[in-house]
């Protein structure tokens, strides 16, 4: 089986590529435009593997996508390329509309052209897997969880752009018969995550004795999914999911942001003791505009139909993640000294504030 993975140099995409190649599940063509979030160093473990190939290309370039598909003749496309950071979408929504909506549309059209020309058995077996987010469902009160049937109510430019892309994928299935599967997942964490997101930012700031900025009172609740559990779930959905179906994926780990940050402080104090506790670095900063209060996922469909459950507990997954950042300074120092030093994003001021960031 050959799989074309878009966004494969990003956080989740690279975890998928590393899994597929290292476990010899598929031949992989990684397609990535290498925006600020793409990082070839995340693909280092598979770059020499004969069953992996990297192509730098933009999903918004329809001609490039069409010729790549003809040339590589994949059996499936896993679509993870996106602008992915809510705060950046508040400062500059245009890139989110371009990549997440127009880019997904452009890719869908290229894939439809390629898929239409496949011989029947390959055409039936083909899959387009669209990777999306729980944020399309909006925000929850203190109880309940998002189901696949929950009405869409996206609140940020990021989630609105992902919701639009989900609708396009759905329509390409219903209108043209393209065999698609869509997954909506909760907040991912784990190795190789770009340090603009809450968990790596707090780990690295804690290591560098910098403030740990928590948005508002830190009371917002997210469900945390280890990226390796997510990659397992994506492979299962790609290979065993029903065409046209949507699957919610969650980590069964709802936590308040402040509790996540406190746990990171405990882990750093334990693993890398310094003169003072990292808890003293916690600083409460202006909240994100329109910050969703709570997300939680009902994973009964994927666990009931496909037998998937997360393997990592949040506590052990977070310890493994902190360990990974401790052991991989080269990876994150190159990012922190180059593309992103940790400045505050998402105040709707095109990123002009220099305060550090602090929300997932």
Binding site for ligand NAD (CB under 6 A): 6-7, 9-13, 32-35, 37-38, 58-60, 80-82, 84, 99, 103, 131-133, 162, 185, 187-188, 194
Does residue 182 sit in helix, strand or coil?
A: strand
Which string of b and e fits 258-278 if b means at least 16 CB within 10 Å?
A: bebbbbbbbbbeeeeeeeeeb
Q: Kindly state the smallest distance separating residue 273's Cβ from ligand NAD, in Å.
A: 30
Q: Are 344 and 84 in contact (CB under 8 A)?
A: no
CB-nearer residue toward ligand NAD: 187 or 220? 187
Q: Kindly state the smallest distance separating residue 190's Cβ from ligand NAD, in Å.
A: 10
CB-nearer residue toward ligand NAD: 162 or 319? 162
Residue recorded with tokens 């730098």: 56
Pairing of strands 212-215, 246-249: unpaired
CB-nearer residue toward ligand NAD: 227 or 281? 227
CB-nearer residue toward ligand NAD: 278 or 342? 342
CB-nearer residue toward ligand NAD: 103 or 342? 103
Cα-based angle 83, 85, 89 (whole degrees, multiple of 5): 80
| Order of all β-strands in the sheet with 127-133 | 52-56, 27-32, 2-6, 76-79, 127-133, 180-185, 246-249
Chain-centre distance of CA 263, in angstroms? 22
List the catalytic residues: 134-135, 158
Chain-centre distance of CA 17, in angstroms? 13
Q: Kindly state the smallest distance separating residue 279's Cβ from ligand NAD, in Å.
A: 25
Q: Kindly state the smallest distance separating residue 124's Cβ from ligand NAD, in Å.
A: 26
Q: Kindly state the smallest distance separating residue 325's Cβ from ligand NAD, in Å.
A: 16
Residue with smallest beta-carbon separation from ligand NAD: 10
d(CA 216, CA 232): 34
């Amino acid at each position: 089986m050959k799989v074309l993975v878009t966004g494969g140099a990003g956080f989740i995409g690279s975890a998928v590529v590393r899994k597929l190649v290292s476990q010899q599940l598929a031949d992989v063509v990684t397609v990535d435009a290498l925006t600020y979030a793409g990082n070839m160093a995340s693909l280092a473990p598979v770059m020499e593997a004969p069953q992996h190939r990297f192509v730098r290309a933009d999903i918004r370039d329809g001609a490039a996508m069409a010729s790549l598909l003809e040339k590589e003749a994949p059996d499936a496309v896993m679509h993870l390329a996106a602008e992915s950071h809510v705060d950046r979408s508040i400062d500059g929504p245009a890139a989110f509309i371009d990549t997440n909506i127009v880019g997904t549309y452009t890719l869908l059209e290229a894939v439809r052209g390629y898929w239409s020309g496949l011989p029947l058995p390959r055409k039936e077996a083909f899959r387009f897997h669209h990777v999306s987010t729980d944020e399309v469902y909006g925000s929850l009160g203190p109880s309940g969880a998002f189901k696949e049937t929950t009405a869409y109510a996206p609140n940020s430019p990021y989630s609105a752009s992902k919701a639009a892309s989900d609708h396009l994928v759905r329509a390409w299935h219903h209108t043209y018969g393209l065999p698609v599967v869509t997954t909506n997942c909760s907040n991912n964490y784990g190795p190789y995550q770009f340090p603009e997101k809450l968990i790596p930012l707090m780990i690295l700031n804690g290591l560098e004795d910098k403030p740990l900025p928590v948005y508002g009172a830190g009371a917002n609740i997210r469900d945390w999914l280890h990226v390796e559990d997510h990659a397992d779930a994506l492979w299962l959905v790609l290979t065993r999911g029903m065409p046209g179906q949507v699957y919610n994926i969650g980590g069964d780990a709802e936590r308040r942001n402040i509790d996540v940050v406190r746990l990171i402080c405990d882990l750093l104090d334990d693993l890398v003791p310094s003169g003072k506790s990292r808890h003293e670095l916690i600083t409460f900063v202006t909240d994100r505009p329109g910050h969703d209060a709570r997300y939680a996922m009902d994973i009964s469909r994927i666990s009931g139909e496909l037998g998937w459950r997360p393997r990592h507990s949040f506590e052990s997954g977070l310890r493994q993640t902190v360990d990974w950042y401790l052991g991989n300074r080269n990876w994150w120092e190159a990012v922190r000294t180059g593309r992103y030093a940790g400045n505050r994003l998402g105040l709707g001021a095109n990123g002009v504030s220099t305060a550090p960031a602090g929300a997932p």
